[in-house]
């Protein structure tokens, strides 16, 4: 195993931030500066719905080390139109957008807050099952990553791709081919 020299400083990337949340609004420049001072070279700010995704893009435009992910979070998908692909395509063409999402299935924060599924929970789950393949389709089409959110639903295959997550609850799925996967994800990291 190679040892790091004392002058070699590791580079870190925050791949999952929600910088557009109101909690950060007053002190966002300070938050970004503190992250940079702590060794965070780049930050990916993830939108949770259409407006949040637009805010993530505006932040990416404002800060050179911030990049955006656009899409609908599983908890917000009931507010999304039935076909989210046109909006995703429009937002995802921005040069600082590096992925779509975060999309997936979340059985932890069900609308009913009950252990058994209710009609409201079923409706949100159906909407998520329609949104996941739409995110994946646009991500593949534009050769971007797709951030997957799975909570308390790891045993359930994701719609249209048959993927079942194992130990981890969230990670990135990338485009169709191995070459696209490596190129799409690392394109922004290496710049």
User: Is residue 179 domain-resident?
Assistant: yes
**Phi, psi angles (nearest 5°) of residue 99:** -165, 170
User: Is residue 156 domain-resident?
Assistant: yes
Domain of residue 138, residue span: 12-190
User: Is residue 62 domain-resident?
Assistant: yes
User: Is residue 98 domain-resident?
Assistant: yes
Q: What pLDDT score does 188 carry?
A: 33
CB atoms within 10 A of CB 107: 19
User: Is residue 65 domain-resident?
Assistant: yes
Number of domains in the chain: 1
Q: What pLDDT score does 4 carry?
A: 54
> Where residue 116 sits, what CATH number does that domain have?
3.20.20.140
User: Is residue 172 domain-resident?
Assistant: yes
How far is CA 25 from its chain centroid?
Answer: 20
CB atoms within 10 A of CB 34: 11
Low-confidence stretches of the chain (pLDDT < 50) are 1, 162-191
User: Is residue 71 domain-resident?
Assistant: yes
User: Is residue 107 domain-resident?
Assistant: yes
């Amino acid at each position: 195993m190679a040892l790091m020299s004392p002058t070699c400083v590791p580079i870190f990337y925050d791949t999952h931030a929600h910088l557009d949340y109101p909690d950060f609004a007053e002190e966002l420049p300070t938050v970004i500066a503190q992250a940079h001072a702590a060794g965070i070279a780049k930050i990916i700010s993830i939108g949770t719905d259409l407006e949040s995704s637009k805010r993530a893009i505006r932040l990416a435009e404002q800060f050179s080390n911030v990049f955006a992910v656009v899409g609908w979070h599983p908890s917000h998908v009931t507010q999304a139109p039935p076909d989210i692909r046109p909006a995703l395509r429009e937002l995802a063409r921005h040069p600082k957008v590096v992925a779509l999402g975060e999309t997936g299935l979340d059985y932890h924060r069900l609308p009913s807050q009950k252990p058994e599924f209710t009609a409201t929970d079923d409706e949100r789950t159906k909407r998520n099952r329609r949104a996941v393949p739409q995110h994946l389709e646009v991500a593949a089409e534009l050769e971007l990553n797709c951030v997957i959110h799975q909570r308390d639903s790891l045993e359930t295959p994701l719609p249209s791709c048959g993927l079942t997550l194992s130990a981890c609850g969230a990670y990135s799925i990338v485009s169709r081919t191995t070459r696209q996967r490596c190129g799409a994800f690392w394109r922004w990291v290496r710049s």
